[in-house]
Amino acid sequence: MDDHTKTAIEELAKRIDDLERRVAELENTVEACHHDEEDDYYEVTCANCGHTFIANFEDFAEDRVICPQCESQFHLDDATLEKLQDHDEHHH
């Protein structure tokens, strides 16, 4: 085998390794997205403007729920938040 062929094979091996690494990264990303889809989502009606939209439990737990229509921020009382947490824990 001449040097040119050997160099070409080594370069192809490096490219294959790089592609395998990229595929593994993509698989991890897809898996993470799949887990995100399993989050609990809740339909919410804005008390300010009446717009109905979907928010997930994490947003409620971290007090990040904002109406996309009027940009009012939602705050849940502790009792409601506890009920949602109990529901979330029993379904995962």
- Does position 3 have pLDDT exceeding 70, yes or no? yes
Q: Taking the complete model, does pTM exceed 0.75, yes or no?
A: no
Query: Tell me: the pLDDT tens digits for 38-60?
Result: 557 778 888 889 888 888 877 87
Shared domain for 86 and 45, answered yes or no, is yes
The tokens describing 28, both together, are 């991890």
Shared domain for 2 and 14, answered yes or no, is yes
Shared domain for 56 and 24, answered yes or no, is no
Shared domain for 8 and 28, answered yes or no, is yes
Q: Which domain holds residue 29?
A: 1-38
Shared domain for 44 and 86, answered yes or no, is yes
What is the rounded CA–CA span in Å between residue 73 and residue 65? 6
Query: Tell me: the pLDDT tens digits for 69-88?
Result: 898 887 777 777 777 667 65
Residue 33 or 2, more confident: 2
Shared domain for 29 and 47, answered yes or no, is no
